[in-house]
Structure 1
Amino acid sequence: MMKRFANLDNVSNNKTFQDMRRWQKERRSKVKDLTVNIEQSPVKKVKELAENRSRKSYTWIGHSTFLIQLNGLNILTDPVWAKRMGFQKRLTEPGLRLDELPEINIVVISHGHFDHLDFPTLRKLKGNPQYFVPAGLKALFLKKGFGKVVEMNWWDCEEFGGLRIHFVPAQHWTRRSLNDMNTSHWGGWVFERNGEGGETFYFVGDTGYFRGFKEIAAKFEIDTVFMPIGAYEPEWFMAASHISPEDSVKAFIELGARRFVPMHYGAYRLADDTGPEALERLLRAWAEQGLPEERLKVMLIGESVF
């Protein structure tokens, strides 16, 4: 019998057929402007990224995909360059082409949903990366021909190239076929640099708001958090698995992190909200909380921060 993974407090994401019908009926009644999208950065630092061996940096490719450079290592989070997701065409081009990436050393996967785990993309990556994946996913990677795979449970830690890589909880679910619901886990990734002055990055993955943020804050001093803000509408349907912009700000405060970088919006239409709507709500919630503007870094697609 296959193991099934669960959220903290056994929070369920199960939805009924009636729930799905209600959502589809609501969607038909909404009018959304899909002509306005998140902008591309006018400057793409392809050469600097390729040559960088010492400076820390992060580049937003789009959706939940970032190129993070730490300790001379090139790290990709949830690499997805897919032009479509189900019946929906990708709304914005990836910030860098696959052939513009440097050789990749590390890939982390938050969970098995197709907008976070895309094997056609993984096959095109330069280099021979080490994959870090949630418990339950290693067998699928091996079946697909990927041999360098480390499988991790919540709170596990591995060391690689002077980095400590932690797998931490999230509140979500996963499925890739009819019979494999929740047979692999989901979570976020924390990267800690060894030694003094090392900056800590937290890639949240996909999550609803949950008490796990406070537990993570108790274990780590986080400098930069890559936080999802999109795919939250309708909230009665999505809240258990996709955090709203307002709750993402609440989570940021609870984490005690120094900088907020929003993600998971604007690339694919996974719910009823649009990228600009998610960003507008985030900015409003940020102002309402009286948080300093310099602690929020809203990125253009393909933008790099060094």
Structure 2
Amino acid sequence: MRTRYRNLNDVSNKKTFKDLRKWQKERRSKVKDLTKNIPQCSNKRFQEIKENRSQTSYTWVGHSTFLIQLNGLNILTDPVWAKRMGFQKRLTEPGIPIEELPEIDIVVISHGHYDHLDFPTLKKLKGNPHYFVPIGLKSLFIKRGYKNVREMSWWESIEYKGIQIHFVPAQHWTRRLLFDMNTSHWGGWIFQTKNETFYFVGDTGYFTGFQEIAERFTIDVVFMPIGAYEPEWFMAVSHISPEDSVKAFIELKAKQFVPMHYGTYRLADDTGPEALERLLKEWEKRQLPQEQLKVLAIGETVM
């Protein structure tokens, strides 16, 4: 028997065929403006990024992919440069062309869904990265010839070249094939140095785990998903809404919110501009400091 992984409090993401039919019917009745996309940064810093081995920086490539430069290391989160996701074309070009990347030291994978784990992308990465993956995924990497792979369970930590790497819970699910549902886990990654702590949330619905994470870590920057939430009766368990992402940010007591997981692939009924508009509205409603919200253009670098 293969291990099947679960969410905290046994929260289930199972949906019925009837649920799927209901969603399809709803989708046909909606009119969405698909002509507006998230803008590209007009001042991309490829050469500066390639040469940087001293300053902390992060660059949004798109979707859940960031290049984080921390403690002299180049880290990629959920690297996906795919031009399509299923039947859907990529809506926006990657913020960094893959050939413009520096050599990569660390790759973290939040879970096995194709919009977060794309092996054709991994083949093209420069360098000899060490892969950190959720428990249950290592065998998939080994079969494809990857050797530098570390599998981790929730709350497990490891020190790697001066960075403490922690795997923390998320509320989600995963599947790559017909019969492998939840045979690997899912979660977020925290990168901790003496001076700063970054939290890459991965894919998640709102859950009580944010409060526990806040008890264990003092977070400087949180990379938080805000998209693929509509219809909410279907998606809420596994994809956090913009409003709940702000609630989670407050609970985390983080210093800066960087939104992600919107505007690159159309995985649900919401659009990228809609997700961003709802985030900004909730931020204003809660009267949070504007300097704590860092909305990036695609390809924008914070250094």
TM band (smaller chain): over 0.9
1:290 equivalent in structure 2: 287
User: 3-state SS of the aligned residue for 2:139?
Assistant: helix
Aligned to 1:151: 151
SS class of match (1:120) = helix
Q: Which residue of 1 aligns with 2:233?
A: 236
Among 272, 275, 278, the alignment partner of 2:272 is 275
- Equivalent positions of 1:28-107 (< 5 A) are 28-107=28-107
Q: Deviations for 1:235-290, whole angstroms, at most 9, x for unmatched residues?
A: 00000000000000000000000000000000000000000000000000000111
Q: C-alpha separation between the residues in 2 aligned to 1:268 and 1:107?
A: 21
Aligned to 1:201: 198
CA–CA distance in structure 2, aligned partners of residues 78 and 273 of structure 1:
21
Tell me what 2:116 maps to.
116
* Total equivalences in the alignment: 303
Give, in angstroms, the shift of residue 161 of structure 1.
1.0
Q: Which of 195, 212, 216 does residue 215 from structure 1 map onto?
A: 212
Runs of 4+ in 1 over 3 A off after TM superposition: none
Cα deviations by residue, 1:2-53 (Å, 9 ceiling, x for unpaired): 0000000000000000000000000000000000000000011001100001
Secondary structure, aligned partner of 1:27: helix
Deviations, residues 32-91 of structure 1 (Å, cap 9, x unaligned)? 000000000001100110000110000000000000000100000000000000000000
1:227 matched to 2:224: yes
Report the Cα distance in structure 2 between the residues aligned to 1:258 and 1:287, rounded to whole angstroms: 17
CA distance in 1, matches of 2:207, 2:68: 26
**Letter of the aligned partner of 1:141 in structure 2?**
F
Distance (Å, rounded) in 2 between the aligned partners of 1:71 and 1:167: 19
Q: Measure, in 2, the Cα distance between the counterparts of 1:214 and 1:288.
A: 22
- By how many angstroms is 1:145 displaced? 1.0
Cα distance in 1 for partners of 2:97, 2:161 equals 26
Alignment of 1:146-185 (within 5 A): 146-185=146-185
Tell me which of 245, 250, 253 is aligned to 1:256: 253
Q: What CA distance in whole angstroms lies between the structure 1 residues aligned with 2:248 and 2:184?
A: 25
- Residue number in structure 2 paired with 1:190: 190
Determine whether 1:247 maps to 2:258. no
| Structure 2 counterpart of 1:149, one-letter code | V
Identity of aligned residues (%): 75
Q: Which amino acid aligns with 2:89?
A: K
Length-normalised TM-score, structure 1: 0.99
AA at the equivalent of 1:9: N
Deviations 1:189-245 (A, max 9, x none): 00000x3xx110000000000000000000000000000000000000000000000
Q: Distance in 1 between matches of 2:57 and 2:178?
A: 39
Distance 1:67 1:14 in 2: 33
Distance 2:51 2:160 in 1: 21
AA at the equivalent of 2:287: G
Question: Aligned partners of 1:277, 1:259: CA distance in 2, in Å?
Answer: 21
Cα offset, 1:305, TM superposition = 0.1
Distance between the aligned counterparts of 1:31 and 1:61, measured in 2?
28
Q: Secondary structure in 1 aligned to 2:166?
A: strand
Q: Which residue of 2 aligns with 1:11?
A: 11
Query: SS at 1:170's partner residue?
Result: coil
1:304 lines up with 2:301 in the alignment: yes
TM-score when scaled to structure 2? 1.00
How large is the Cα RMSD of the aligned pairs?
A: 0.3
SS at match of 1:206: coil
Q: Which runs of 5+ in 1 are unaligned?
A: none
Gaps of 5+ in 2: none
**What pairs with 1:133-144 in structure 2 (closer than 5 Å)?**
133-144=133-144
